[in-house]
A and B are shown apart, each in its own frame.
Chain A
Amino acid sequence: MAEEFKAIESQEELDGILADNTKTVTEKVTADVTKQFEGYISPTELGKTDKGVAFLFKASNSSAESNVMAYNFFVGNCTMNDQTARGVVFVADNGNVTVASHNGISTDVPFGTTIDPDRKAVLAPVVNTATGEVFTDICEMRYSPVQYNIMDVDGQGIYLCGKTVCLKDEEV
């Protein structure tokens, strides 16, 4: 038997039906994905400073260890020719750094990171090597006394550190 037809007579009525449908579909997709990857999705960790955000989003084998501060995405400002725009830095498991910014995308091999508490922090800004855009507050850690932590560099600021890349907080 055909479903009874019900006329929609107002915009508010239409908006309500669309919202209900959207909610139903969203809940179904979320439930399906959660079930499909149950036990394999890492906790999504979000770090934030006043200069940008860093987050971890990855799927891996449930037995694989991953530090909750091993952020693989960083979002912040980058500049070129006095123009500032948002950009994204993605750090792969092998350390390769992919940068997506206003003018293009670049991928580079890791510069080389040494974590040693006896060394001074040596930080180099992340650069989109295809376009020349330079991140103002996201740096690769060539040397750092810590990782997966918060680091206060005398006179330079405070940094939220992932594995090899860090995000600056406020100026001192």
Chain B
Amino acid sequence: MIEHTTLANKFLLNSSNHASTFIAWLNAILSAYNWEFDSEIIAPSGSTPENIYGKYYFTADSYIKIHMGVDNNYYTVIDIVTPNVATQKSTVHAPYFTVSVGKTSKGICLCVYSGESNDTRAPHFYNLYVGEIKTLDGQTTKGCIYVADDNSYTVATDSGISNEAKFASTIDNTKKTCLIPVTDSTTGAVFKNIFMLKNAPLNYNSLKLEDTQKIYLCGKAICLED
């Protein structure tokens, strides 16, 4: 069950009248996944985009908050909040929004990005992933990954937030696929179904491995198993 929905592709969001568009994106993300209780969209009556946000709980205590900053233009801001620590990620301060939702039976991935008008970013360039993660003591919980453009990434779980170094991803159709599970190197927890594309014949697409018959939904350098 692999699904991909592009909600916006370089959509110019530059007016307070676009509040309803932003709300529609947030609602689409809310309904795309079985988020935990308390997940919600906050949109006060008559509000402008900067007052609207979506909170998506991936565990009972940790969530992703998607909202907008204003700096002459609207731009994307993503807060990742865990019980003891939080981090904020924002894109360049430019108003062309690309928003998409990818989904498999094992998790969800989102592209929530704003850039310049000439930005050629693919809607499959997911920057948020949510899936199951196994801790060193054998427990399974859920975790969130935020991926930066340089392939460094941040892992958030109820145990905290771990910033991970960038990795090399080679996309070459003459190479065999080599997938490495995404890990939280602070706690040792390992994602069960989310992998780094160390080597792959393609990205931004679905990838089927002959040997295992498994299918993966690939972003730029990270993929989600189906």
Report B-chain residues with C-beta under 8 Å of the C-beta of A109: 168, 170
Alpha-carbon gap, A96 to B174, bound state (A): 18
Q: In the complex, which residue of chain A has the Cβ closest to the Cβ of B190?
A: A122
Report A-chain residues with C-beta under 8 Å of the C-beta of B175: 106, 129-130
Q: Which residue of A111, A122, A128, A131 is within 8 Å of B198 (Cβ)?
A: A111
Assess whether B186 is in contact with A119, with CB atoms less than 8 Å apart: yes
Does A120 interact with chain B (Cβ within 8 Å)?
yes
Does A16 interact with chain B (Cβ within 8 Å)?
no
Q: Which residue of A112, A114, A120, A129 is within 8 Å of B176 (Cβ)?
A: A129
Known A108-B199, A118-B186, A120-B187; contact A130-B176, beta-carbon cutoff 8 A: yes
Interface size (A, Cβ < 8 Å)?
Answer: 21
Assess whether A131 is in contact with B176, with CB atoms less than 8 Å apart: yes
Residues of chain B from 160 to 176 with CB closer than 8 A to chain A in the complex: 165-168, 170, 174-176
Alpha-carbon gap, A133 to B180, bound state (A): 15
Summarize B's interface: helix, strand, loop or mixed. Answer: loop
Report B-chain residues with C-beta under 8 Å of the C-beta of A111: 167-168, 180, 198
Q: In the complex, which residue of chain A has the Cβ closest to the Cβ of B165?
A: A114
Does A127 interact with chain B (Cβ within 8 Å)?
yes
Alpha-carbon gap, A132 to B209, bound state (A): 12
Assess whether B178 is in contact with A110, with CB atoms less than 8 Å apart: no
Q: In the complex, which residue of chain B has the Cβ closest to the Cβ of A127?
A: B178
Alpha-carbon gap, A143 to B188, bound state (A): 10
Q: Nearest chain A CB to B92's CB is how many angstroms away?
A: 25
Known A111-B198, A132-B176, A142-B180; contact A120-B185, beta-carbon cutoff 8 A: yes
Does B82 interact with chain A (Cβ within 8 Å)?
no
Alpha-carbon gap, A128 to B199, bound state (A): 11
Report A-chain residues with C-beta under 8 Å of the C-beta of B186: 118-120
A residues in contact (CB < 8 Å) with B: 106, 108-112, 114, 116, 118-120, 122, 124, 127-132, 142-143
Q: A112-B168, A120-B188, A142-B167 are in contact. List 12 more A-B contacts (CB 8 A).
A: A108-B199, A110-B168, A112-B167, A114-B185, A118-B186, A119-B185, A119-B186, A120-B136, A120-B187, A122-B183, A129-B175, A129-B178
